[in-house]
Structure 1
Amino acid sequence: MNLVAWAIVTCEVLFWVVILAGFTARYIFKRNTLGLILLALTPVLDIILLVISGVDLAGGASATTAHALAAVYISVSIVFGKSMIAWADERFRYYVTKQGAQPVKRYGMEHARHYFKGWVKHLLSFALAAGILYGLIVWIDDPARTEALLSILTVWSVVVGIDLIITVTYFIWPRQIKGSAR
């Protein structure tokens, strides 16, 4: 694995470590300020990954799938970061500290609308990553060195389309409570 691939893995692991440390500080040790500081470190990981990828490409490296995935990681983190932290926070409070309400399971049209909002975020993260990747393609200005960037966009376009189809099916066939009559 190259440097950028290791940076992605490291940033993803550190993302969850920082979040868990923030929740632990906030809920177990009752250190709200420390918890907030730790949670605020999550965007710093994105900046570090962006710098590592940019320096590698500026140094003449050919863009790899890892470079493209760095852009994907950054865009997903920016668009979904707050909701991922809220999701994890809700589960940490309920399952670890036994505080707060049980996480909600959605059914019917409520689930369909919630999934649609997630698809819109997916589309936004795709658009942001596409902007980053096209920016890199223009900046490098060498099709031989940027082929991997464009191929990730092609694959992700298909994934966004499949996710849209799944989203539409939830409006046609709403998710039912297990064991209930359809």
Structure 2
Amino acid sequence: MIYSVILACEIGFWLAIVAGLAARYLLRRPALGAGLLVLAPVLDLVLLVATALHLRSGAEPGPAHALAAIYLGFSVAYGHAMIRWADVRFAHRFAGGPAPVRKYGIDQMRASWLDVGRTGLAAVIAVAVMAGLVWFAGITFEPFRSTVGLLGLILAIEVIVAVCDTVSPRKPPAAATGTRAARGEQAAHRP
């Protein structure tokens, strides 16, 4: 049951975003668009309540409940950024907005470290949700221990990516292409 609720909330999340952006840009009704976008966090509340009630009714805690907690954590931590990401692309495609800008160098490094912060926040929220479920349903935390380790692994990978982006950030294509062209030109002029 919980897997179905998670799937329905994920589909609903993206439908709310698409409907909100369509209302904002295609129908030119920003208030309606904002109202539809507000539905995205409401779906998180639906998932939280469904998961808590499922556990309280005597369901055995398991991976589905842990996944619900992870989903909630990442939805809260990354939700605004995902909506902003979709908004930029939707505005560009349907409303003549500026093209999305890919990040390079310092901007890429900053974005990577912001993602570390978001992932850390998502992990904290997920653990807090699991602790809240344990308290609400009167169960032990034991079934969720491995999920805490998984969240730590996800955060560690995010940190490794950010360190790599700090040490060796992506170069803009124009600079990289110009450098390659210059190298190719020099090689062509060698005797």
* TM, length-normalised to structure 2: 0.86
**Aligned counterparts of 1:88 and 1:53: Cα–Cα separation in 2:** 28
Q: Of 125, 130, 135, which aligns to 1:128? A: 125
Q: CA deviation at 1:159?
A: 1.3
**Aligned counterparts of 1:66 and 1:109: Cα–Cα separation in 2:** 39
Match of 2:10 in 1: 12
Match of 1:57 in 2: 55
Q: Of 148, 163, 172, which aligns to 1:153? A: 148
**Aligned counterparts of 1:13 and 1:165: Cα–Cα separation in 2:** 30
Q: CA deviation at 1:136?
A: 2.5
Q: CA deviation at 1:140?
A: 4.2
Q: CA deviation at 1:147?
A: 3.8
Q: CA deviation at 1:158?
A: 0.9
Cα RMSD over matched residues?
1.7
Paired residues for 1:79-98 under 5 Å: 79-95=77-93, 97-98=94-95
Q: CA deviation at 1:44?
A: 0.9
Match of 2:19 in 1: 21
| Amino-acid identity (%) | 34
Q: CA deviation at 1:98?
A: 4.7
Q: CA deviation at 1:39?
A: 0.6
Secondary structure in structure 2 of the residue aligned to 1:41:
helix
Structure 2 regions of 5+ residues with no counterpart? 181-191
**Aligned counterparts of 1:4 and 1:19: Cα–Cα separation in 2:** 22
| CA deviation string 1:91-134 (max 9, x = no partner) | 01112x15111101111121011110111111011111111212
Structure 1 regions of 5+ residues with no counterpart? none
